[in-house]
Every structure is written in C-alpha cells, then in structure tokens.
Amino acid sequence: MHNIIDNIIEISYFVAAILFIMGLKKMSSPVTARSGIIWAGVGMLVATLITYLHPGMHNYMLMTVAIFVGGVAAWWSGKKVAITDMPQMIALYNGMGGGAAGAIAAVELLKGRAAFDSQTFLVLAILGALIGSVSFSGSLVAFAKLQGWLRRPMRFPGQQIFNIAVFLVAVGFGALLLTQNEFSGTVILIFFVAALAYGLLMALPIGGADMPVVISLFNALTGLAVAFEGFVLNNAAMIIAGTVVGSAGTLLTQLMARAMNRSIGNVLFSSFGASGGDEGDSVEGSMKPIDAADAGIMMAYAERVVIIPGYGMAVAQAQHKVWELATLLIKRGVDVKFAIHPVAGRMPGHMNVLLAEANVPYDLLYDLEEINAAFTQTDVSLVIGANDVVNPTARTNPESPIFGMPILNADQSKNVIVIKRGQGKGFSGVENALFFGDNTRMLYGDGQAMASELIEAVKEL
C-alpha cells in the first residue's frame, strides 16, 4: 500500500512539474500568457493536494486553514489591486515566498541536527534560510519603495563595507551551525536577524528606477531558496518549482539589466536614480507646448504613428482611451504601432498587461529591436507617460547616468507629441533631452484627459 501511495505521489509531482514548465513557456507570449497562468495554477493545485498523502504528514487541520486563509486573501487582493499597483503586489508576494522558505528552514533547524539525514542537507537548509530571508526583507523594501512609503533611498558613508560585514556575520553564524552537535537557539536567532538585516540593507540604497531589476533578482533568489528547502524536505514539487522560478528569474534579471546596458552589480551598488541624477544633466532649449486640437490634427493626417506608453499611462489609467484614439486613427487609414521598451513601467511586461487589458491586438505591439528602425519613417510619435526609455541623452551624453542604455528612438521621428502632467523629471530624476527637441511638442495634462481631448479632436475632422 505504501508503495502505491509513493508511486501516486511521484507521478503527481511529475505531472505538476510538466504543468509548471508548460505554464511558464506559455507565459512568455502575451497571446498564451493567460492559459499559461491557468496551467501553472493547476500544477500548483495538484502539488498541494498530493502533499496531503506525503508520508509523515500531520497537522492537516492547520494546513487546510492556512491554505484557505491564504487563498482567500490572495484572491481578494488580486481582484482588488489596481493595475498600477501590480508591481508592488508582485514584490510583496515574492517576499512571502522567500519568507516561507526561510520559515521552513527555521522549523527544521529548531528540530535539531537529528532532523537532517546528512551534512549536505544541513548546508542546503542553511543556504535556503539565508537566501530566503534576504529575499523576504529585501522584497518588503522594494514594496515600500514602489508603494511610496520609502521615497528617499537611505545611504551613509561606508555603507557597502557595513553591508558586507553584516553579510559575513550571517554567513559566519550559518557556518557555526555546521560545527555544532546541538544547535544553539541563540546562534539560529543571530543568523536569521543578520540575514534579514542584510536584505534590508541591500535594498534600501537602490533607487526606485532600478526596482524592476531588483524585484526580478529577488524573485530568482526566492526560487533558489525554495528549491534548496525542497531538497531538505525531499519534496520534488518544491525542487522543480523553485528551480524553474529561480532560473526564469535569473534570466529575466539579466535581460532587464541588459536592456538598461548595465551590469547587475551596477544596479545593486551604484544607487542610480537615488540622487536625482544631476551629473551631465544640463539640457539647452525650452519645452514647447501644443494644444489637443492641433495635436489631433497632426496625428489624424499622418501616415504613420507610433504610440509609446510608460508608467504615466498606467497612473492615469489611460490605456482604454489610448486604444480608442488608435482605433480612430486606424479607421482613417493611419498606420498605428505601439512601441514597448523592456523596462517601461515598474515591472517586466507592465505595458503589455495594460494594453492587453484594453484589448489592443498583440500584432500591434513591437519590441525595441523591432520598432527602432521605423522611427525615421514615422510622422508622429505619441509619448504618454514614458521618460527614460525615450531619452536621447542615453545615446549622446557620456556624462549622463543613463548613457549607453538602449532607448526607443522617438527623437528620430518627424514629430513628437509628449503627454505629460508637468515639466518635472522622470522617476529616475534624469532630465529628458527629447522634451526640448525642435520636433517635440508638449501636451500638458492628465494622460486620460488628454487622450480624451485627442479623441474629440480627431472625431471633429
């Protein structure tokens, strides 16, 4: 009977693993992302239910209550959260994953050395605890920054040296556990406090503009921690899910950093976006305003229009109005495309999700590499809420903090219209030379309101 149950568990975990991998594969495309989430969700359901049959499992009532409470809380928050708040929710949920891995390790360590079959499993438990704790506290800082609770990065002289010292304390006490025949509760406590402190110290000095990369990195760390704890618990589902999440998060982190033409080390330790970016930031000229009526005429009689969305569009919840405007232009025979930068918004794929919510066809969305060559043939580029991703300073000014970052070449269009609430700098604090260009006109106002006025202007023609 035990052999039959063991076989059922192993087969179920294998099926769950296949569903995880297939779901992740489908999530790589906007066309299949929705079904990918469902596939992965079914895989998680299978892995969760079959765990009830795992040998030695107990506390079924506590498990069921925890799953119910967590499931209801996740469902409710998922339904209620605004699309503009999705990045911080992702950061928070990711932190919960890291915290869960750390908590599992803490429980196993408190059981004593007898709970570990070998020194290897003890090493994995300690590594999982360290990585999970760092991801947990670091993700909470990322959440607080994106939520606006921590508006100013916290830096002090010698911070990197101090951070390294705290990390070494965590590593040292983790190593001390390996030498003890009976684990000391004090050593375990200091180990976890140091690990949590390092996660906080690691994220606090990082500027808000780098949060997409940081969230992706913490996501990778969470996956790695879960995989390590899966080995400790001999749970195949945790091993596979953690490995998949860790590898996907690592790849995404590298892609995000590459999209900014920066190393991961530079993201973590340079504090870019934290000080306002005044170096090499002087721009000559002035911003030239335009009213919605003139901008509408310019777009309506254009042959080719490229729309470039950014986080400001998300804040204004203007995606539906922007698509309505695009639809009117398409009916007039205008060739309309949407240009998506990899780090537009505050998390990977943020703009894709917004535009999908407005039912923008996927074949109108173009990545940076696909669209950049077309800007020289574009009559009007409409920038709504984007800033750094269209800043030509990244190509022209070696003194700028964003120099070398690949951008959308909107400045090469014949005309540029920028919808912006005011004349302030963007999220990273770097002045945008595009706004001062001879071919650029500024349409000041709320994104949704200005899109509505553009719609009315086109309708009247």
The whole-number average pLDDT for the span 53-70 is: 87
What amino acid occupies position 221? L
The whole-number average pLDDT for the span 184-197 is: 96
221-256 burial string, b = 16+ CB within 10 Å, else e?
A: bbbbbbbbbbbbbebbbbbbbbbbbbebbbebbbeb
For residue 3, what pLDDT is reported? 79
For residue 258, what pLDDT is reported? 78
The chain-wide mean pLDDT, for the chain, equals 88
For residue 279, what pLDDT is reported? 45
Q: Nearest 5 degrees, angle CA 228-CA 229-CA 232?
A: 100
- The larger pLDDT score, comparing residue 270 to residue 175, is at 175
For residue 125, what pLDDT is reported? 95
- The larger pLDDT score, comparing residue 156 to residue 61, is at 61
DSSP labels, 238-260: HHHHHHHHHHHHHHHHHHHHHHT
In angstroms, rounded to a whole number, what is the distance separating the alpha carbons of residues 130 and 170? 8
Candidates 439, 295, 303; CA nearest to 377 is: 303
DSSP labels, 95-139: HHHHHHHHHHHHHHHHT-GGG-SSHHHHHHHHHHHHHHHHHHHHH
Question: Which sequence spans correspond to the domains of the chain?
Answer: 1-78, 85-275, 292-459
For residue 98, what pLDDT is reported? 94
Per-residue pLDDT of 359-404, as tens digits, reads 999 899 999 999 999 999 999 999 998 888 999 988 888 888 778 8
What amino acid occupies position 160? Q
The token duo for 451 is 């899109």
Q: How buried is 270 (Cβ within 10 angstroms: 0-12 exposed, 13-18 middle, 19+ buried)? A: middle
For residue 118, what pLDDT is reported? 86
Is 6 an active-site residue?
Answer: no
On the question of pLDDT at 271 being above 70, the answer is no
For residue 275, what pLDDT is reported? 44
Per-residue pLDDT of 246-259, as tens digits, reads 998 898 888 878 77
Question: Which residues have CB under 8 Å from 172's CB, separation 6+?
Answer: none
For residue 427, what pLDDT is reported? 55
Distances (CA, A) of 244 to 16, 50, 224, 241, 338: 12, 20, 9, 5, 31
Candidates 242, 194, 235, 191; CA nearest to 221 is: 242
In angstroms, rounded to a whole number, what is the distance separating the alpha carbons of residues 250 and 220? 5
The token duo for 306 is 């490229």
Per-residue pLDDT of 97-133, as tens digits, reads 999 999 999 999 999 888 888 899 999 999 999 999 9
Per-range mean pLDDT, top range of 124-133, 200-209, 311-320, 395-404:
124-133
The token duo for 444 is 């000041």
In angstroms, rounded to a whole number, what is the distance separating the alpha carbons of residues 354 and 374? 23
User: Helix, strand, or coil here: 442?
Assistant: strand
Which CATH number, 3.40.1170.10, 1.25.40.80, 3.40.50.1220, 3.50.50.60, labels domain 292-459?
Answer: 3.40.50.1220
Confirm whether pTM is higher than 0.85: no
On the question of pLDDT at 304 being above 90, the answer is yes
For residue 354, what pLDDT is reported? 86
Choosing from 6, 210, 367, 388, the catalytic residue is 388
Question: Which residues have CB under 8 Å from 142's CB, separation 6+?
Answer: 88, 91, 95, 203, 211, 214, 215, 218
For residue 1, what pLDDT is reported? 61
pLDDT-above-70 percentage for the chain: 94
On the question of pLDDT at 276 being above 60, the answer is no
For residue 9, what pLDDT is reported? 87
DSSP for residue 347: S
Per-range mean pLDDT, top range of 199-208, 247-256, 382-391, 450-459:
450-459
